[in-house]
Amino acid sequence: MRQLILLVALSVICAVVVAVQASNTNPHGKLKWDCQDCHTPESWSALRKPIQFDHDKTGFYLAGAHRAAQCIGCHKNLLFNHVGTACNDCHADNHGGQLGPTCDNCHTPQDWQG
């Protein structure tokens, strides 16, 4: 009888642990990278220097001036995978839409001057 009670108690504890872990969601959305690629074990707010995250593996290669940009320039909130990849998703259109959405006809990520 004692073993049965112990087994039931252990099962309940395991179920609670699984439920708590399932309820903890990543504030950055569904990502396939380890938290420690960017964060330190000491604090979630303290970022690793340098960050070990490789942006190139996301499918959006950081070329030219994008490589030196601050992350928050395009990632306006914590859901990192909810960022557009069109130029006007992060950059103001100084042409007021008159030249269409193909900025790369005149500009490159190396330098917006041409």
Q: Is 7 exposed, middle or buried (0-12, 13-18, 19+ CB in 10 A)?
A: exposed
55/74 Cα distance (integer angstroms): 13
33 close to 53: Cβ distance less than 8 angstroms = yes
3-state secondary structure of 23: helix
What's the angle, vertex CA 65, arms to CA 62 and CA 68, rounded to 5?
A: 75
φ and ψ at 65, to 5 degrees?
-65, -20
pTM greater than 0.85: no
How high is the pLDDT of residue 14? 53
Closest CA relative to residue 37, chosen from 80, 69, 83 = 80
Q: What is the pLDDT along the chain (114 residues), one digit of tens a residue?
A: 777 676 665 665 655 444 444 445 788 888 888 888 889 888 888 888 888 888 888 888 899 989 888 888 888 888 888 888 888 888 889 898 898 888 988 898 887 776
